[in-house]
Amino acid sequence: MRLGDVEIDTATRRVLRAGSAVHLAPMEYALLLRFAEQPRTVLTRERLLADVWGWDHGGTRTVDSHVRALRRKLGDALVRTVHGVGYALEVDRG
């Protein structure tokens, strides 16, 4: 799966950015996959908590800290913040 300059190989659970391997923690990887299922779609923190962590309630700051880690490892532009709502994966349409 290709998301701009990020490649995800789901068979091997490897992630590359611009051809270089990037180590993601298990929850970071799961979050990236969830975003990749619906690129450009805004997902609420609550939806992400339910889908990725299996929580039906809880601290949405957990999502924020994992998004921050993804941005640090894969680039700030990959995940867009929709203030007061949640996040969306931003990928080139090309």
- Would 73 be classed as within a structural domain? yes
What six digits make up the tokens of 74?
């894969």
Q: Quick one: 69 exposed, middle or buried, by C-beta within 10 A (0-12, 13-18, 19+)?
A: middle
Residue 67 structural domain: 24-89
Q: What is the mean pLDDT of the chain?
A: 91
pTM of the model: 0.91
In a domain, 12, yes or no: no
As for how many domains the chain has, the answer is: 1
14 belongs to a structural domain: no
Q: Give a yes or no: residue 76 inside a domain.
A: yes
Model pLDDT for residues 13-31, shown as the tens digit of each residue: 999 999 999 999 999 999 9
CATH number at residue 69: 1.10.10.10
Flag whether 68 is in a domain: yes
